[in-house]
Amino acid sequence: MRASDRARLELPPPPAIPTPSPRCDVRRRSAGGVRTRGHRRGHRHVGGRSSAAAGRGRLLANARRWVRLAARSRVGAESEDEVRHALAALEAEGWRLRHSLAYGGRGDIDSVAIAPTGIAFAIEIKTRSFERRHLAAVRAMAVWLYRRRRRWCRRGALRVLCVVRARAVERIDDGVLIVSLERLVGALRSAAGTARRPGFMTAGASDR
């Protein structure tokens, strides 16, 4: 066979497959890395903003709560001051007064008025309204007062709840005298003179 015939029958060599240059590979990885890092940075940034916003929301809610509590405490303190000022008129008549008297490890009695006749009054102070549980609390205070401060209340301890912002209130509910501020002193004078009024229960021997 002639050389020319052999040349026609031989298959041409396969084309060379170009191999990617290292530089291109590095660029690809680099670009992917930048995108990945950028995405992660952005994700962290958004998450950080969300966390910061949530933190600010909690701080704002706590601040509002403390403002409400401070306002309530201020109003309560003002009501107690008004009652103390009203009760001070009784001192000239021989009454003795005690305020913020700690009792039983469960708080304090807002005011105690001790009449010359040997009757004491445990006074709970509310600004505008009260609940049934407050009546039970006043009864417990009067019982404690009679048991632990017997020299103040030889003839018993009476239960009083003064609603400072109410007007023209003077009634007996569940053995507790509920009275508005402008009637408080007169009601105490009357109760101390008669010792017992209909329905007005006195903490005494039966509570031992």
Query: Which CATH number is 161's domain given?
Result: 3.40.1350.10
Instruction: Examine residue 12 and state whether it is found in any structural domain, yes or no.
Output: no
Instruction: Examine residue 101 and state whether it is found in any structural domain, yes or no.
Output: yes
pLDDT tens digits, 62-75: 666 656 555 556 67
Instruction: Examine residue 89 and state whether it is found in any structural domain, yes or no.
Output: yes
Question: Can you give the pLDDT at residue 106?
Answer: 72
Give the residue numbers spanning the domain of 195. 84-207
Q: What would the mean pLDDT of 115-133 be, rounded to a whole number?
A: 95
Report the domain count for the chain. 1
Instruction: Examine residue 64 and state whether it is found in any structural domain, yes or no.
Output: no
Question: Can you give the pLDDT at residue 85?
Answer: 97
Q: Most distant CA pair in the chain: distance in Å?
A: 150
Range of weakest confidence among 20-24, 37-41, 88-92:
37-41
Instruction: Examine residue 8 and state whether it is found in any structural domain, yes or no.
Output: no
Instruction: Examine residue 107 and state whether it is found in any structural domain, yes or no.
Output: yes
Question: Can you give the pLDDT at residue 19?
Answer: 58
Instruction: Examine residue 31 and state whether it is found in any structural domain, yes or no.
Output: no
Q: Whole-prediction pTM value?
A: 0.63
Question: Can you give the pLDDT at residue 107?
Answer: 87
Instruction: Examine residue 41 and state whether it is found in any structural domain, yes or no.
Output: no
